[in-house]
A and B are shown apart, each in its own frame.
Chain A
Amino acid sequence: MTAARFKNSVRAMYAPIASILLTLALGFLLVMAITDDPLQAYRDLLFANFDSLGSFALFLNRATPLTLIALGVIFSFRAGIFNVGGEGQLYAGAIAATVIGVTFAGLPAIVLLPLALMGGILAGAFLGWVPGVLKVRLAVDEVVTTLMLNIIVLLFTSYLSNQVIRDTKSYGAVSEMVPEKIWLPALPGVPGATSGIVVAVLLASATWVVLFRTVWGAQLRASGTNLRFANAVGIPADQRIIVAMLIAGGLGGLAGVLYVLGIGHRFEQNFSPEYGLVGLTCALLARIHPIGALATAIFYAMMINGSAYMQISTDVPRSLVDLLTGLLVLLMTARLATPKTRS
């Protein structure tokens, strides 16, 4: 039994690892054309994160939002909703936490921190709720609504950070700082690393338990895999799907809150290097499995951060990672065999 299960999970990891290796191999060919020392470039890309405590902290700070967004994506995909709204949910959470933190800076931390946290989560959840309800009640395509909402939210935060809560003493579209009393403490032993990573790891485990070890999670997955079956056996599928989208948006919002409180300490219009899409990539690479997504998010954080070290030590531009991400996303859902040949 355990051996069979182990065999199954090895088989499940085969395709994602194959697409990662194929992408890295294609990238290596490119790197060989650019630099005389491709091995050095790839070593830095993947492992320079562990050279110093400072780099390790930056790496953890990247992994945190990626993991949370990936978890949100997992909830929605498991409920059968193709939610590509991670970026918008992230921005909504970040801007809501910032607006609350800056506006009510006078409140004591014990009130302000939960307020900012809840505000951010609710803002994200709202962005998940809208496409969820439209999908369930009217069958409006959720890919379209989440894509459009992303752009709407980005424009709205651009307005707020440029015109309303802008720090006039700083350069660029950045908000004023949130008060220091609600900053998250650093991870013990790793100065500069957000303790949000602990939250992310805990939530990844919690997501696994909820989805795979509770009746509610089983009903949610049933609604996602076969809606008619779920309805036929009396599962309130519509309600499960809407709650899944609330959670998905809330997790995206939480990613934004933790970024503001733990890493940026203010809202910056360009703080996300496409965390939404990369988080989606991590979730899909992990075959929408929460523990797997933790692993892929860590892998991606390694690459995104490592690219900066790679650019310093060799001549390879850091945008190599963007290029590789494109290749990976293009490749990762592909199958060598046509579906018909599977028995």
Chain B
Amino acid sequence: MYLSSFLASVLEQSAPILLAALAAMITLRANILNVAVEGMMLVAAFVAIAVGSATDSAALAFFAAVLASILMSQLLALMTLRFSADFIVAGLGINLLAAGGSLFALEWFYGTPGGLRPITFPDIWHVAPGSLSFIPVIGPAIERQSIILILAFIAIPLSAVFLYRTPTGAYLRAAGEDEHAARAAGVSVVRMKAISLAISGLFAGLAGAQLAMDKLHFFLPEMTSGRGFIGLAATLFGGGHPWVTAAASLLFGFFGALGDRLQAFSLPSQFVLMMPYIAAIVGLTLARWRIHVRNRPARIVVEGSA
């Protein structure tokens, strides 16, 4: 029983990280380091609560949140792909815009700079308690989880199939791996990058909606608390491969859940919270180290010859 309740909190912690990681992964495959996941998540969380409290409809809140996040991703696509803004700078701009915009809306429209706490908020669909208890350990852990969490885990195989088994996925990867070759082969690199950003917005929107709508039902300006960056870390840790990325996300979710339990043993929570970020730096360094050692004799540099 204890095991499945721990597993449930691992899943709960992992879901937004997993979605953020998939959001960063899909753009990484198109050769975009997406630092804007955090901002898109925040916008989705805010819109979910704002629309949900205004319309009292969970479905409307959900779709509005995802739509808002996709719109943010397309704003980023417009600035970077059409007006050739720098991806990192413009991505940080999206984060600042999301944070500033939601704070501005809170202060101006709602008059509550601290956050938005509607008195009533519609519930999103959760797995019915008891419906899966015939499966040992895992069943009870999935019960009471939100539909978005289920979607997050379905998104892993879906994105793997998309990337490796569909023409669009192949074009997208081609655009990411060698822009010039892809263009020569007739692939519209700009369109592929825009598509990857849109999918990224979709996943980030799901992540934000999960944060706001699963249990909390309120919005705080610091709600995403770096989960977009943990997701980015997981993606880089997983080298942009769906299954490895998902495994890294689960590992980080495990650390998060473990951190919650360890606080009872007076281990400073800050050190537990640091783990994903340290893991990302160490993981990246080790990955580069392997490549470095492998390539040490006679490295041929082809970059920039076009």
Q: What residues of chain A have their CB less than 8 Å away from a CB belonging to chain B?
A: 34, 82, 84, 134, 137-141, 143-145, 147-149, 151-152, 155-156, 158-159, 162-163, 228, 274, 277, 280, 284, 316-336, 338-339
State the Cβ distance, A309 to closest chain B Cβ, in Å.
16
Residue interface mask B65-88, A partner, CB < 8 A = 1? 000000000011001000111101
Residues of B within 8 A of A140 (CB): 281, 284-285, 288
Q: A141-B284, A151-B226, A319-B107 are known contacts; what are 6 more A-B pairs with Cβ within 8 Å?
A: A148-B229, A280-B92, A317-B103, A326-B99, A335-B85, A338-B84
A329 and B92 contact, Cβ closer than 8 Å, known pairs A140-B288, A143-B33, A155-B270: yes
Complex: chain A residue closest to B94, CB-CB? A330
Contact indicator B99/A332 (Cβ below 8 Å): no
Cα distance, A84 to B284, chains bound together (Å): 17
Per the CB 8 Å criterion, the residue count for chain B at the interface is 49
Closest A residue to B268 using CB positions: A159
What string of 1s and 0s marks CB contacts (under 8 Å) between B197-223 and chain A?
Answer: 000000000000000000000000000
Please indicate the chain A residues that have their CB under 8 angstroms from the CB of B99 in the complex. Answer: 322, 326
Q: Is the CB of A149 within 8 A of B100?
A: no
Contact (A151, B100) CB under 8 Å given A82-B88, A141-B284, A163-B268: no
Chain A residues with Cβ below 8 Å from B284 are 140-141, 144-145
Chain A residues contacting B86 (CB-CB under 8 Å) are 333
State whether A335 touches B83 (Cβ < 8 A).
Answer: yes
Instruction: Determine how close the nearest CB of chain A comes to the CB of B111; give it in whole angstroms.
Output: 9
Given contacts A152-B277, A334-B85, contact A323 B93 (CB under 8 A): no
Q: Which 10 A-B pairs have the closest CB atoms?
A: A326-B97, A322-B100, A330-B93, A329-B93, A317-B107, A326-B96, A334-B83, A323-B100, A334-B85, A159-B270
Contacts of B76 in A (CB 8 A): 330
Partner of A84, one of B84, B90, B92, B278: B92
Give B179 Cβ to nearest chain A Cβ, in Å: 14
Among A143, A149, A330, point to the contact of B85 (Cβ < 8 A): A330
**A277 touching B104, Cβ below 8 Å:** no
Give complex CA distance A163, B263 in Å. 14
Residue in B closest to A130 when the chains form the complex, CB atoms: B281
B157 neighbours in A (Cβ, 8 Å): none
Q: Report chain A residues within 8 Å CB of B292.
A: 137-139
Q: Is the CB of B280 within 8 A of A148?
A: yes
B85 and A319 form a contact (CB under 8 A): no
Contact among B89, B92, B113, B285 with A319 in the assembled complex (CB-CB below 8 Å):
B113
Residues of B within 8 A of A319 (CB): 100, 103-104, 106-107, 113
- Contact between B274 and A155 (Cβ–Cβ < 8 Å)? yes
B97 (CB) vs chain A CBs: closest residue = A326
Q: Give every chain A residue within 8 A of B271 (Cβ-Cβ).
A: 155, 159
A294 to chain B, nearest CB (A): 20
Is A339 in contact with B33, judged by CB distance below 8 angstroms? no
**What are 24 contact pairs spanning A and B, CB under 8 A?**
A84-B88, A134-B288, A140-B288, A141-B284, A143-B33, A143-B88, A148-B229, A148-B278, A151-B274, A152-B277, A155-B274, A277-B92, A319-B104, A322-B99, A323-B97, A326-B95, A330-B79, A330-B93, A330-B94, A331-B85, A332-B93, A333-B85, A334-B84, A335-B85
**A134→B84 contact, CB < 8 A:** no
Indicate whether A322 sits within 8 Å of B96 (C-beta atoms), given known contacts A148-B233, A148-B281, A339-B84: yes
**Bound form: Cα–Cα A156–B94 in Å:** 27
Given A334-B84, A334-B85, A134 and B285 touching (CB < 8 A)? yes
Contact partners of A152 in chain B: CB under 8 A: 274, 277-278
- Shortest A221–chain B CB gap in Å is 18
Task: Give every chain B residue within 8 A of A324 (Cβ-Cβ).
Answer: 100
Report the Cα distance A339→B80, complex, angstroms. Answer: 12
Q: Is the CB of A138 within 8 A of B285?
A: yes
With both chains docked as a complex, state the minimum distance between the C-beta of B217 and any C-beta of chain A, in angstroms: 23
Least Cβ distance of B24 to chain A in Å?
11
B134 contacts the other chain (Cβ, under 8 Å)? no
